[in-house]
């Protein structure tokens, strides 16, 4: 396994988002920095984001508590029990795409908590419903949903920044996110004494949705492919989040915003935890390139794209479906 170079911050910049919402010159600088990062890197760190450090620490305590449960306890909320791809996935599980290499991680997947009275749940709309929760872990559900709510608040702040960076009004993306298909994963990467090509935490990939907000623990492991196709390490920095452009945002900007390849390799001989929050539009949204990104030199690269149908297909291929036995 090759050694990756540590990134410098001209490659993965740090952006102070405290001015977002001010509508002043300082906010304009933030928007310019987001636009530059989106166009040339696809990744950036954010500081002064408003999420308390104690809550970031608490979600890692929740991770440690869940993944310390006996295997039988975790298996009781196996993801195959859920039609909405919620619950526990052990290491190496695959969906329909059995040719895809297995990743060396286990996860707990959670989405927007919706009860039986929700209109979309009543109508049986895919990807809408309740989560699965462990029976013998007091306060876990409350901790996870509280942090989930904090991420939703941060998501809407960042949506303003992305909209302005894409030359839209501040609320330009809001209609796409009336009932977003957000998802959060609690991830656990086991300690590895030796790293080989067939022992990668998360294989090189681009995120599927609109953008991702990632919280890393102090161990690190995230690596990003830069514009020269070099792998650079994106280390954890204090209480900052990492934000990255995903494929749907690339679509609406007609390829102007970059969705960068990234991977996770646990090279450090310690267990690693991370908590990505995946920002996805509402089920019935259809995405197309925005007109300001199309001209004679830049014809539309992408056709209409139905969010819900494509997300459902993506999850079905990535993870075992409800009622199925994992490969």
**Does the predicted TM-score (pTM) go above 0.75?**
yes
Average pLDDT on 272-293 reads: 97
Structure tokens at 235: 């280390």
Residue 200 pLDDT: 65
Please report which helix (H) or strand (E) contains residue 43, including its range: strand 43-47
Q: Domain 5-318 carries which CATH code? A: 2.60.120.330
CB atoms inside a 10 Å sphere around CB 171? 12
Distance CA 290, CA 308 (A): 19
Residue 325 pLDDT: 43
Please choose, from the candidates 280, 107, 101, 294, the residue with its C-alpha nearest in 3D space to the C-alpha of residue 205: 101
* Max Cα–Cα distance, the chain, nearest Å: 60
- For 90-205, strand residue ranges (E) read 106-111, 183-189, 202-205
Binned at pLDDT 50, 70 and 90, residue 158 comes out as: very high
Distance CA 190, CA 36 (A): 35
More confident residue, 264 or 275: 275
CB atoms inside a 10 Å sphere around CB 258? 20
Binned at pLDDT 50, 70 and 90, residue 92 comes out as: confident
Say if residue 38's pLDDT is above 90.
yes
The per-residue pLDDT for range 208-227, each reduced to its tens digit, is 999 999 999 999 889 999 88
The per-residue pLDDT for range 50-81, each reduced to its tens digit, is 999 999 999 999 999 999 999 999 999 999 99
Structure tokens at 327: 């490969």
More confident residue, 54 or 193: 54
Residue 103 pLDDT: 77
Q: Say what the alpha-carbon torsion angle 221, 222, 227, 230 is, to the nearest 10 degrees.
A: 10
> What length is written for the chain?
327
Residue 97 pLDDT: 54
CB atoms inside a 10 Å sphere around CB 259? 24
Residue 204 pLDDT: 84
Average pLDDT on 193-204 reads: 66
Say if residue 164's pLDDT is above 50.
yes
End-to-end CA distance of the chain: 27
Average pLDDT on 250-275 reads: 92
The per-residue pLDDT for range 125-156, each reduced to its tens digit, is 999 999 999 998 989 999 999 999 999 999 99
CA-based torsion, 165, 286, 316, 121: positive or negative: positive
DSSP three-state, residue 157: helix
Percentage of the chain modeled with pLDDT above 90? 78
Residue 60 pLDDT: 98
Distance CA 67, CA 85 (A): 18
DSSP three-state, residue 19: coil
Average pLDDT on 170-181 reads: 97
Phi/psi region, residue 279 (left: phi>0; alpha: psi -120 to 50; beta: rest), is beta
């Amino acid at each position: 396994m090759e050694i990756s170079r540590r990134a410098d911050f001209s490659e993965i910049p740090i952006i102070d988002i405290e001015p977002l919402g001010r509508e002043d010159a300082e906010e304009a600088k933030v928007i310019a920095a987001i636009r530059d990062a989106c166009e040339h890197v696809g990744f950036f760190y954010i500081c002064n984001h408003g999420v308390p450090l104690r809550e970031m620490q608490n979600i890692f305590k929740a991770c440690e508590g869940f993944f310390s449960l006996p295997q039988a306890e975790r298996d009781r909320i196996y993801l195959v029990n859920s039609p909405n791809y919620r619950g526990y996935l052990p290491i190496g599980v695959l969906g329909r795409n059995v040719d895809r290499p297995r990743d060396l991680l286990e996860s707990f997947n959670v989405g927007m908590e919706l009860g039986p009275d929700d209109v979309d749940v009543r109508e049986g709309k895919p990807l809408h419903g309740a989560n699965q929760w462990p029976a013998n872990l007091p306060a876990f559900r409350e901790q996870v949903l509280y942090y989930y709510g904090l991420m939703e608040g941060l998501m809407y702040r960042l949506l303003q920044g992305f909209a302005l960076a894409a030359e839209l009004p501040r609320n330009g993306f809001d209609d796409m996110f009336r009932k977003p298909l957000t998802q959060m994963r609690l991830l656990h990467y086991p300690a590895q004494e030796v790293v080989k090509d067939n022992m990668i935490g998360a294989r090189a990939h681009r995120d599927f949705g609109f953008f991702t907000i990632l919280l890393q623990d102090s161990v690190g492991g995230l690596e990003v492919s830069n514009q020269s196709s070099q792998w650079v390490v994106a280390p954890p920095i204090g209480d900052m989040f990492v934000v990255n452009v995903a494929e749907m945002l690339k679509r609406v900007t007609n390829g102007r915003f970059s969705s960068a390849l990234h991977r996770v390799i646990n090279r450090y001989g310690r267990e690693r935890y991370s908590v990505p929050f995946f920002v996805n539009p509402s089920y019935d949204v259809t995405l197309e390139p925005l007109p300001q990104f199309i001209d004679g030199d830049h014809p539309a690269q992408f056709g209409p794209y139905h969010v819900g149908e494509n997300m459902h297909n993506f999850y079905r291929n990535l993870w075992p479906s409800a009622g199925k036995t994992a490969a």
